[in-house]
């Protein structure tokens, strides 16, 4: 996994847990609930871990992973399901990218500018 990625949310079938990054608390509750459903349903269907995040330039990433010894994880199914989710949720993901670029990347840029004294 890209260590510079900023994770928005994710689910883990091994621990049966869902994670939402509080840095994104400004996202409307209905969108947060939709993300929760996407993550949990994904891990219930194929297993492993599923995360939605952003790379350095603000592009949305969908990351799937599984424990090395997990024989039940369906890697092919995971890849197909990622494509299906991307296709079905294209508007949601585009909106999330815009939110990230406008609010998060801009905040980080402003913090760097202030620290540099500009």
> Which pLDDT tens digit goes with each residue over 21-37?
999 999 999 999 999 99
Residue 1 included in any domain: no
The strand pairing partners of 53, in sequence order, are 7, 61
The stretch 41-64 carries a mean pLDDT of: 95
Residue 33 included in any domain: yes
Q: What's the pLDDT score for residue 1?
A: 47
Domain that includes residue 13, residue range: 6-116
Number of domains in the chain: 1
- In the chain, pLDDT over 70 holds for what percent of residues? 87
The stretch 58-79 carries a mean pLDDT of: 92
Residue 71 has pLDDT above 70, yes or no: yes
The stretch 26-52 carries a mean pLDDT of: 96
């Amino acid at each position: 996994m890209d260590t510079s990625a900023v994770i928005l949310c994710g689910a883990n079938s091994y621990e049966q847990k869902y994670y939402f990054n509080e840095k994104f608390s400004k996202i409307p509750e209905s969108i947060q609930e939709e993300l929760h459903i996407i993550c949990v349903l994904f891990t219930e269907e194929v297993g492993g871990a599923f995360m939605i995040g952003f790379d350095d330039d603000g592009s949305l990433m969908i990351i799937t992973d599984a424990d090395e010894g997990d024989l039940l994880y369906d890697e092919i199914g995971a890849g197909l399901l990622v494509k299906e989710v991307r296709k079905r949720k294209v508007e949601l993901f585009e909106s999330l990218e815009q939110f990230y670029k406008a609010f998060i990347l801009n905040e980080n840029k402003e913090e760097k500018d202030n620290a540099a004294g500009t």
